[in-house]
Protein backbone atom coordinates (compact mmCIF):
# COMPACT_ATOMS: atom_id res chain seq x y z
CA UNK A 1 0.00 0.00 0.00
CA UNK A 2 1.46 3.39 -1.04
CA UNK A 3 0.40 5.84 1.66
CA UNK A 4 1.04 8.79 -0.62
CA UNK A 5 -2.00 7.67 -2.63
CA UNK A 6 -4.26 7.15 0.39
CA UNK A 7 -7.59 8.96 0.30
CA UNK A 8 -9.77 7.38 2.98
CA UNK A 9 -8.62 6.54 6.50
CA UNK A 10 -9.82 5.36 9.90
CA UNK A 11 -8.50 6.37 13.31
CA UNK A 12 -7.67 4.08 16.21
CA UNK A 13 -6.95 5.02 19.83
CA UNK A 14 -6.31 2.90 22.92
CA UNK A 15 -5.75 3.60 26.59
CA UNK A 16 -5.15 1.15 29.44
CA UNK A 17 -5.77 3.29 32.52
CA UNK A 18 -6.51 7.00 32.71
CA UNK A 19 -3.75 8.81 34.62
CA UNK A 20 -2.55 12.39 34.71
CA UNK A 21 0.47 11.52 32.58
CA UNK A 22 -1.58 9.49 30.08
CA UNK A 23 -2.44 10.84 26.67
CA UNK A 24 -6.22 10.63 26.69
CA UNK A 25 -8.35 9.01 24.01
CA UNK A 26 -9.64 12.47 23.01
CA UNK A 27 -6.11 13.86 22.59
CA UNK A 28 -5.00 10.83 20.59
CA UNK A 29 -7.95 11.17 18.22
CA UNK A 30 -7.41 14.92 17.93
CA UNK A 31 -3.80 14.40 16.86
CA UNK A 32 -4.88 11.75 14.35
CA UNK A 33 -7.54 14.06 12.88
CA UNK A 34 -5.01 16.85 12.40
CA UNK A 35 -2.67 14.41 10.66
CA UNK A 36 -5.43 13.32 8.29
CA UNK A 37 -6.56 16.88 7.58
CA UNK A 38 -2.99 17.98 6.80
CA UNK A 39 -2.83 15.33 4.08
CA UNK A 40 -6.30 15.87 2.76
CA UNK A 41 -7.49 12.39 3.76
CA UNK A 42 -11.15 11.67 4.38
CA UNK A 43 -11.85 10.15 7.81
CA UNK A 44 -14.45 7.41 7.43
CA UNK A 45 -14.40 5.98 10.95
CA UNK A 46 -12.99 6.28 14.46
CA UNK A 47 -12.45 3.25 16.70
CA UNK A 48 -11.54 3.17 20.38
CA UNK A 49 -10.46 0.65 23.02
CA UNK A 50 -10.68 2.46 26.35
CA UNK A 51 -9.47 0.73 29.50
CA UNK A 52 -7.85 -2.09 27.51
CA UNK A 53 -4.31 -3.29 28.20
CA UNK A 54 -2.16 -3.96 25.13
CA UNK A 55 -0.04 -6.36 27.18
CA UNK A 56 -2.97 -8.55 28.21
CA UNK A 57 -5.09 -8.22 25.06
CA UNK A 58 -3.92 -8.84 21.52
CA UNK A 59 -5.36 -6.43 18.91
CA UNK A 60 -7.65 -9.08 17.43
CA UNK A 61 -9.18 -9.65 20.89
CA UNK A 62 -10.23 -6.02 21.37
CA UNK A 63 -13.72 -4.85 20.52
CA UNK A 64 -12.58 -1.57 18.94
CA UNK A 65 -9.92 -3.15 16.72
CA UNK A 66 -12.28 -5.91 15.63
CA UNK A 67 -14.84 -3.28 14.64
CA UNK A 68 -12.14 -1.46 12.69
CA UNK A 69 -11.26 -4.58 10.72
CA UNK A 70 -14.96 -5.11 9.98
CA UNK A 71 -15.18 -1.65 8.37
CA UNK A 72 -14.78 -1.22 4.62
CA UNK A 73 -13.25 1.12 2.07
CA UNK A 74 -10.27 2.63 3.87
CA UNK A 75 -6.67 2.93 2.70
CA UNK A 76 -4.90 3.75 5.95
CA UNK A 77 -5.16 3.36 9.73
CA UNK A 78 -3.87 6.29 11.76
CA UNK A 79 -2.68 5.70 15.34
CA UNK A 80 -1.01 8.11 17.74
CA UNK A 81 2.02 5.90 18.51
CA UNK A 82 3.02 2.33 17.78
CA UNK A 83 2.50 1.26 21.40
CA UNK A 84 -1.17 2.31 21.15
CA UNK A 85 -1.63 -0.62 18.79
CA UNK A 86 0.58 -3.25 20.43
CA UNK A 87 3.08 -3.75 23.24
CA UNK A 88 4.46 -6.96 21.79
CA UNK A 89 6.42 -7.22 18.57
CA UNK A 90 4.52 -10.27 17.30
CA UNK A 91 1.16 -8.59 18.01
CA UNK A 92 2.25 -5.51 16.06
CA UNK A 93 3.50 -7.52 13.09
CA UNK A 94 0.35 -9.64 13.01
CA UNK A 95 -1.88 -6.55 13.07
CA UNK A 96 0.15 -4.91 10.30
CA UNK A 97 0.04 -8.10 8.21
CA UNK A 98 -3.75 -8.17 8.55
CA UNK A 99 -3.95 -4.59 7.25
CA UNK A 100 -1.58 -5.35 4.37
CA UNK A 101 -3.77 -8.24 3.20
CA UNK A 102 -6.67 -5.84 2.75
CA UNK A 103 -4.50 -3.23 1.06
CA UNK A 104 -4.34 -0.74 3.92
CA UNK A 105 -1.31 1.01 5.39
CA UNK A 106 -0.46 1.93 8.98
CA UNK A 107 0.51 5.46 10.06
CA UNK A 108 1.72 6.61 13.50
CA UNK A 109 1.49 10.35 14.20
CA UNK A 110 4.27 10.57 16.80
CA UNK A 111 6.45 7.81 15.31
CA UNK A 112 7.55 8.76 11.78
CA UNK A 113 7.12 5.35 10.16
CA UNK A 114 6.57 4.45 6.52
CA UNK A 115 5.39 0.88 6.27
CA UNK A 116 5.83 0.85 2.49
CA UNK A 117 9.64 0.62 2.57
CA UNK A 118 11.97 -2.02 4.08
CA UNK A 119 13.73 0.65 6.13
CA UNK A 120 10.44 2.00 7.44
CA UNK A 121 9.22 -1.46 8.39
CA UNK A 122 12.50 -2.18 10.20
CA UNK A 123 12.17 1.07 12.15
CA UNK A 124 8.57 0.23 13.07
CA UNK A 125 9.67 -3.15 14.40
CA UNK A 126 12.37 -1.44 16.49
CA UNK A 127 9.73 0.85 18.00
CA UNK A 128 7.59 -2.18 18.82
CA UNK A 129 10.62 -3.83 20.46
CA UNK A 130 11.18 -0.78 22.66
CA UNK A 131 7.48 -0.75 23.55
CA UNK A 132 7.71 -4.36 24.65
CA UNK A 133 10.84 -3.62 26.69
CA UNK A 134 9.11 -0.68 28.38
CA UNK A 135 6.10 -2.84 29.30
CA UNK A 136 8.37 -5.51 30.79
CA UNK A 137 10.33 -2.88 32.74
CA UNK A 138 7.08 -1.56 34.23
CA UNK A 139 6.05 -5.07 35.25
CA UNK A 140 9.46 -5.68 36.86
CA UNK A 141 9.22 -2.45 38.90
CA UNK A 142 5.70 -3.34 40.08
CA UNK A 143 6.82 -6.85 41.09
CA UNK A 144 9.84 -5.50 42.97
CA UNK A 145 7.76 -2.90 44.83
CA UNK A 146 5.15 -5.49 45.80
CA UNK A 147 7.83 -7.93 47.00
CA UNK A 148 9.33 -5.25 49.26
CA UNK A 149 5.93 -4.32 50.69
CA UNK A 150 5.22 -7.97 51.50
CA UNK A 151 8.66 -8.42 53.02
CA UNK A 152 7.97 -5.45 55.31
CA UNK A 153 4.72 -7.05 56.47
CA UNK A 154 2.57 -4.33 54.91
CA UNK A 155 -0.66 -4.74 52.92
CA UNK A 156 0.02 -4.44 49.14
CA UNK A 157 -3.54 -3.42 48.27
CA UNK A 158 -6.31 -5.11 46.33
CA UNK A 159 -9.40 -6.89 47.62
CA UNK A 160 -9.42 -7.08 51.42
CA UNK A 161 -10.25 -10.60 52.70
CA UNK A 162 -13.56 -11.04 54.49
CA UNK A 163 -13.14 -10.74 58.25
CA UNK A 164 -10.24 -8.30 57.96
CA UNK A 165 -9.61 -4.62 57.29
CA UNK A 166 -6.63 -2.47 56.34
CA UNK A 167 -5.47 0.31 58.68
CA UNK A 168 -2.60 2.78 58.70
CA UNK A 169 0.70 1.11 59.60
CA UNK A 170 1.52 2.12 63.20
CA UNK A 171 5.21 1.33 62.64
CA UNK A 172 5.83 3.23 59.41
CA UNK A 173 4.44 4.06 55.97
CA UNK A 174 1.65 2.21 54.16
CA UNK A 175 -1.12 0.04 55.57
CA UNK A 176 -1.39 -3.27 57.39
CA UNK A 177 -4.09 -5.91 57.71
CA UNK A 178 -5.95 -6.45 61.01
CA UNK A 179 -9.03 -8.43 62.03
CA UNK A 180 -12.42 -6.80 61.48
CA UNK A 181 -14.37 -7.09 64.74
CA UNK A 182 -17.72 -6.97 62.92
CA UNK A 183 -17.01 -9.90 60.59
CA UNK A 184 -14.23 -12.05 62.06
CA UNK A 185 -16.69 -14.04 64.21
CA UNK A 186 -18.80 -14.93 61.16
CA UNK A 187 -15.66 -16.01 59.31
CA UNK A 188 -14.49 -18.21 62.19
CA UNK A 189 -17.89 -19.90 62.43
CA UNK A 190 -18.01 -20.48 58.65
CA UNK A 191 -14.56 -22.10 58.72
CA UNK A 192 -15.54 -24.28 61.68
CA UNK A 193 -18.67 -25.46 59.83
CA UNK A 194 -16.62 -26.29 56.73
CA UNK A 195 -14.11 -28.28 58.78
CA UNK A 196 -17.02 -30.13 60.40
CA UNK A 197 -18.25 -31.29 57.00
CA UNK A 198 -20.84 -28.67 56.02
CA UNK A 199 -21.01 -27.98 52.27
CA UNK A 200 -20.27 -24.57 50.81
CA UNK A 201 -23.91 -24.21 49.76
CA UNK A 202 -25.07 -25.03 53.28
CA UNK A 203 -22.72 -22.41 54.74
CA UNK A 204 -23.96 -19.81 52.23
CA UNK A 205 -27.54 -20.56 53.23
CA UNK A 206 -26.64 -20.33 56.94
CA UNK A 207 -24.90 -16.97 56.46
CA UNK A 208 -27.90 -15.60 54.55
CA UNK A 209 -30.49 -16.88 57.05
CA UNK A 210 -28.42 -15.59 59.98
CA UNK A 211 -28.09 -12.11 58.50
CA UNK A 212 -24.30 -12.18 58.32
CA UNK A 213 -22.89 -8.95 56.82
CA UNK A 214 -21.73 -9.37 53.24
CA UNK A 215 -18.19 -8.53 52.10
CA UNK A 216 -17.95 -4.76 51.73
CA UNK A 217 -17.14 -4.85 48.00
CA UNK A 218 -20.07 -7.16 47.22
CA UNK A 219 -22.47 -4.98 49.22
CA UNK A 220 -21.59 -2.06 46.92
CA UNK A 221 -22.46 -4.13 43.82
CA UNK A 222 -25.66 -5.82 44.92
CA UNK A 223 -27.91 -2.83 45.75
CA UNK A 224 -29.00 -3.99 49.19
CA UNK A 225 -29.07 -7.74 48.60
CA UNK A 226 -28.43 -9.81 51.73
CA UNK A 227 -27.95 -13.19 50.02
CA UNK A 228 -24.65 -15.03 50.07
CA UNK A 229 -23.64 -17.17 47.10
CA UNK A 230 -21.47 -20.21 46.67
CA UNK A 231 -18.58 -18.44 44.91
CA UNK A 232 -18.20 -15.86 47.67
CA UNK A 233 -18.12 -18.48 50.42
CA UNK A 234 -15.75 -20.74 48.48
CA UNK A 235 -13.40 -17.79 47.92
CA UNK A 236 -13.19 -16.77 51.56
CA UNK A 237 -12.60 -20.40 52.64
CA UNK A 238 -9.66 -20.68 50.23
CA UNK A 239 -7.83 -17.54 51.33
CA UNK A 240 -4.55 -18.44 53.10
CA UNK A 241 -4.95 -15.44 55.39
CA UNK A 242 -7.18 -17.77 57.45
CA UNK A 243 -3.95 -19.38 58.66
CA UNK A 244 -2.09 -16.06 58.88
CA UNK A 245 -0.32 -16.58 55.53
CA UNK A 246 0.04 -13.95 52.79
CA UNK A 247 -1.02 -14.81 49.21
CA UNK A 248 1.97 -14.42 46.88
CA UNK A 249 2.17 -15.60 43.26
CA UNK A 250 5.44 -14.34 41.73
CA UNK A 251 5.66 -15.22 38.06
CA UNK A 252 2.19 -16.81 38.00
CA UNK A 253 1.22 -17.62 34.42
CA UNK A 254 -1.55 -15.55 32.89
CA UNK A 255 -3.55 -18.72 32.28
CA UNK A 256 -3.49 -19.62 36.00
CA UNK A 257 -6.44 -17.43 36.86
CA UNK A 258 -7.49 -19.57 39.79
CA UNK A 259 -5.30 -18.58 42.72
CA UNK A 260 -3.40 -21.44 44.32
CA UNK A 261 -4.25 -21.28 48.06
CA UNK A 262 -0.77 -22.58 48.86
CA UNK A 263 1.04 -19.94 46.78
CA UNK A 264 2.05 -17.83 49.77
CA UNK A 265 4.93 -15.67 50.97
CA UNK A 266 7.76 -17.90 52.19
CA UNK A 267 11.03 -17.41 54.06
CA UNK A 268 14.56 -18.34 52.94
CA UNK A 269 13.95 -21.99 53.88
CA UNK A 270 10.74 -22.18 51.87
CA UNK A 271 8.46 -22.18 54.93
CA UNK A 272 5.26 -20.07 54.90
CA UNK A 273 5.56 -16.75 56.72
CA UNK A 274 2.74 -16.82 59.30
CA UNK A 275 1.23 -13.90 61.20
CA UNK A 276 -0.26 -15.25 64.42
CA UNK A 277 -2.22 -12.03 64.87
CA UNK A 278 -4.22 -12.72 61.70
CA UNK A 279 -4.61 -16.51 61.91
CA UNK A 280 -7.88 -18.11 63.02
CA UNK A 281 -6.77 -21.69 62.17
CA UNK A 282 -3.43 -23.48 61.88
CA UNK A 283 -1.67 -24.21 58.61
CA UNK A 284 -2.50 -27.90 59.08
CA UNK A 285 -6.19 -27.10 59.48
CA UNK A 286 -6.03 -24.89 56.39
CA UNK A 287 -4.59 -27.78 54.35
CA UNK A 288 -7.39 -30.05 55.62
CA UNK A 289 -9.97 -27.42 54.68
CA UNK A 290 -8.64 -27.22 51.11
CA UNK A 291 -8.83 -31.01 50.72
CA UNK A 292 -12.45 -30.97 51.86
CA UNK A 293 -13.33 -28.18 49.43
CA UNK A 294 -11.56 -29.86 46.51
CA UNK A 295 -13.37 -33.12 47.16
CA UNK A 296 -16.69 -31.36 46.56
CA UNK A 297 -15.63 -29.08 43.71
CA UNK A 298 -16.06 -31.46 40.77
CA UNK A 299 -19.75 -32.24 40.04
CA UNK A 300 -18.84 -35.87 39.31
CA UNK A 301 -17.64 -36.22 42.91
CA UNK A 302 -21.14 -35.62 44.22
CA UNK A 303 -23.79 -38.25 44.67
CA UNK A 304 -25.70 -38.93 41.46
CA UNK A 305 -28.97 -37.92 43.11
CA UNK A 306 -27.45 -34.47 43.86
CA UNK A 307 -26.37 -33.77 40.28
CA UNK A 308 -28.51 -31.65 38.02
CA UNK A 309 -28.80 -32.54 34.34
CA UNK A 310 -27.89 -29.83 31.81
CA UNK A 311 -28.27 -29.50 28.06
CA UNK A 312 -25.65 -31.24 25.90
CA UNK A 313 -25.93 -28.52 23.22
CA UNK A 314 -22.47 -27.10 24.01
CA UNK A 315 -20.83 -30.28 25.26
CA UNK A 316 -17.09 -30.11 24.36
CA UNK A 317 -17.70 -27.20 22.00
CA UNK A 318 -16.44 -24.04 23.73
CA UNK A 319 -12.88 -23.58 25.01
CA UNK A 320 -11.41 -21.33 27.70
CA UNK A 321 -9.41 -18.45 26.19
CA UNK A 322 -6.80 -18.66 28.96
CA UNK A 323 -6.43 -22.41 29.50
CA UNK A 324 -7.31 -23.72 25.99
CA UNK A 325 -9.36 -26.56 27.50
CA UNK A 326 -12.99 -27.43 26.84
CA UNK A 327 -15.48 -25.81 29.19
CA UNK A 328 -17.58 -28.22 31.24
CA UNK A 329 -21.31 -28.23 31.83
CA UNK A 330 -22.57 -27.47 35.30
CA UNK A 331 -24.91 -25.38 37.40
CA UNK A 332 -24.52 -22.32 39.57
CA UNK A 333 -27.33 -21.66 42.04
CA UNK A 334 -29.43 -24.10 39.98
CA UNK A 335 -28.81 -22.15 36.76
CA UNK A 336 -26.96 -23.87 33.87
CA UNK A 337 -23.43 -22.62 33.22
CA UNK A 338 -20.23 -23.53 31.42
CA UNK A 339 -17.11 -23.49 33.59
CA UNK A 340 -13.39 -23.99 33.05
CA UNK A 341 -12.06 -26.95 35.08
CA UNK A 342 -8.70 -25.17 35.46
CA UNK A 343 -9.23 -21.45 36.07
CA UNK A 344 -12.89 -21.81 37.19
CA UNK A 345 -14.25 -18.97 35.04
CA UNK A 346 -17.99 -19.39 34.37
CA UNK A 347 -20.53 -18.09 31.89
CA UNK A 348 -24.30 -18.48 32.07
CA UNK A 349 -25.84 -20.86 29.56
CA UNK A 350 -29.30 -19.34 29.13
CA UNK A 351 -28.18 -16.13 27.39
CA UNK A 352 -25.16 -17.78 25.74
CA UNK A 353 -27.23 -20.50 24.07
CA UNK A 354 -29.73 -17.97 22.72
CA UNK A 355 -26.91 -15.73 21.47
CA UNK A 356 -25.20 -18.58 19.59
CA UNK A 357 -28.45 -19.85 18.08
CA UNK A 358 -29.40 -16.35 16.89
CA UNK A 359 -26.02 -15.86 15.22
CA UNK A 360 -26.12 -19.33 13.66
CA UNK A 361 -29.56 -18.84 12.12
CA UNK A 362 -28.86 -15.27 10.98
CA UNK A 363 -25.29 -15.54 9.72
CA UNK A 364 -25.24 -19.15 8.47
CA UNK A 365 -28.87 -19.87 7.59
CA UNK A 366 -28.22 -20.55 3.89
CA UNK A 367 -25.02 -22.56 4.25
CA UNK A 368 -25.32 -26.19 3.20
CA UNK A 369 -25.00 -29.28 5.38
CA UNK A 370 -25.18 -32.06 2.83
CA UNK A 371 -28.40 -31.43 0.91
CA UNK A 372 -29.96 -29.23 3.58
CA UNK A 373 -29.43 -25.61 4.50
CA UNK A 374 -28.52 -24.80 8.09
CA UNK A 375 -32.00 -23.35 8.56
CA UNK A 376 -33.65 -26.58 7.38
CA UNK A 377 -31.26 -28.81 9.37
CA UNK A 378 -31.97 -26.81 12.51
CA UNK A 379 -35.73 -27.12 12.01
CA UNK A 380 -35.35 -30.88 11.51
CA UNK A 381 -33.28 -31.18 14.71
CA UNK A 382 -36.24 -29.90 16.74
CA UNK A 383 -35.53 -30.10 20.48
CA UNK A 384 -32.86 -32.82 20.18
CA UNK A 385 -29.82 -31.23 21.88
CA UNK A 386 -27.30 -33.54 20.22
CA UNK A 387 -28.80 -32.96 16.75
CA UNK A 388 -28.75 -29.19 17.35
CA UNK A 389 -25.15 -29.49 18.55
CA UNK A 390 -24.19 -31.28 15.32
CA UNK A 391 -25.62 -28.40 13.25
CA UNK A 392 -23.68 -25.82 15.27
CA UNK A 393 -20.41 -27.77 15.19
CA UNK A 394 -20.67 -28.23 11.39
CA UNK A 395 -20.45 -24.45 11.00
CA UNK A 396 -17.97 -23.59 13.75
CA UNK A 397 -14.26 -23.01 13.36
CA UNK A 398 -13.60 -21.84 16.93
CA UNK A 399 -15.71 -20.89 19.94
CA UNK A 400 -13.65 -19.38 22.74
CA UNK A 401 -14.90 -17.86 25.99
CA UNK A 402 -12.68 -15.34 27.68
CA UNK A 403 -12.82 -14.08 31.22
CA UNK A 404 -14.91 -11.07 32.08
CA UNK A 405 -16.95 -9.48 34.83
CA UNK A 406 -19.60 -11.95 35.93
CA UNK A 407 -22.85 -10.15 36.66
CA UNK A 408 -26.54 -10.00 35.88
CA UNK A 409 -26.10 -9.22 32.21
CA UNK A 410 -24.67 -11.25 29.36
CA UNK A 411 -21.50 -9.77 27.86
CA UNK A 412 -21.17 -10.84 24.23
CA UNK A 413 -17.60 -9.49 24.10
CA UNK A 414 -16.55 -12.52 26.15
CA UNK A 415 -17.56 -14.76 23.22
CA UNK A 416 -14.94 -15.09 20.46
CA UNK A 417 -16.64 -16.94 17.62
CA UNK A 418 -15.38 -17.69 14.10
CA UNK A 419 -17.31 -19.63 11.49
CA UNK A 420 -15.64 -22.26 9.32
CA UNK A 421 -14.76 -21.22 5.79
> What is the domain partition of the chain in residue ranges?
3-138, 178-297, 306-419
Per-residue pLDDT, averaged over 359-363, amounts to 92
User: Could you tell me the pLDDT band of residue 12, with boundaries at 50, 70 and 90?
Assistant: very high
Per-residue pLDDT, averaged over 288-311, amounts to 66
178-297 and 3-138 share a CATH fold: no
Higher pLDDT, 400 or 130: 400
pLDDT for the residue numbered 325: 92
Per-residue pLDDT, averaged over 275-295, amounts to 89
Model confidence at 73: pLDDT above 80 = yes
Higher pLDDT, 169 or 396: 396
CATH assignment, 3-138: 3.40.50.1390
pLDDT for the residue numbered 359: 92
Model confidence at 186: pLDDT above 90 = yes
Least confident of 58-67, 186-195, 221-230, 395-404: 221-230
pLDDT for the residue numbered 410: 82
pLDDT tens track for 243-262:
888 887 654 444 444 567 77
Per-residue pLDDT, averaged over 137-166, amounts to 75
User: Could you tell me the pLDDT band of residue 51, with boundaries at 50, 70 and 90?
Assistant: confident
Task: Give a three-class secondary structure readout of the chain.
Answer: CCHHHCCEEEEEEEECCCCCCCCCHHHHHHHHHHHHHHCCCEEEEEEEEECCCCCCCCHHHCHHHHHHHHCCCCCEEEECCHHHHCCCHHHHHHHHHHHHHCCCEEEECCCCCCCCCHHHHHHHHHHHHHHHHHHHHHHHHHHHHHHHHHHCCCCCCCCCCCCEEEEECCCCCCEEEEECCCCHHHHHHHHHHHHCCCCHHHHHHHHHHHCCCCCHHHHHHCCCCCCCCHHHHHHHHCCHHHHCECECCCCCCCCCCCCCCCCECECCCCCECECCCCCCCCHHHHHHHHHHHHHCCCHHHCCHHHCCCCCCCCCCCCEECCCCCECEEEEECCEEEEECCCCCCEEEHHHHHHHHHHHHHHHCCCCEECCEEHHHHHHHHCCCHHHHHHHHHHHEEEEEECCCCCCCCCCHHHEEEEECC
User: Could you tell me the pLDDT band of residue 405, with boundaries at 50, 70 and 90?
Assistant: low
Higher pLDDT, 128 or 398: 398
Per-residue pLDDT, averaged over 88-101, amounts to 83
Per-residue pLDDT, averaged over 341-359, amounts to 89
What CATH class does 178-297 carry? alpha beta
Amino acid sequence: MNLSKARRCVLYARLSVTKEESVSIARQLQSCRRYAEARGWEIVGEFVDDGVSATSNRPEERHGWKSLLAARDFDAVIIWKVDRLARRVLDFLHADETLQKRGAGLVAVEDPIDMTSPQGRAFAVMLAVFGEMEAEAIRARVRAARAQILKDGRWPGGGIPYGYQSVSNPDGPGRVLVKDDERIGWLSDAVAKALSGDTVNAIATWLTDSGAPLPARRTERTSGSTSWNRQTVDGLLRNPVLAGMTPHNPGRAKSAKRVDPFAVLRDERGRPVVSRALAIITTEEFATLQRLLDARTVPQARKKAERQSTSAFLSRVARCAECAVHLCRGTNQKRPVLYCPKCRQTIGRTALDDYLIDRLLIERANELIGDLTVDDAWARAGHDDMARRAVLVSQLDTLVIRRGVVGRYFDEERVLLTWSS
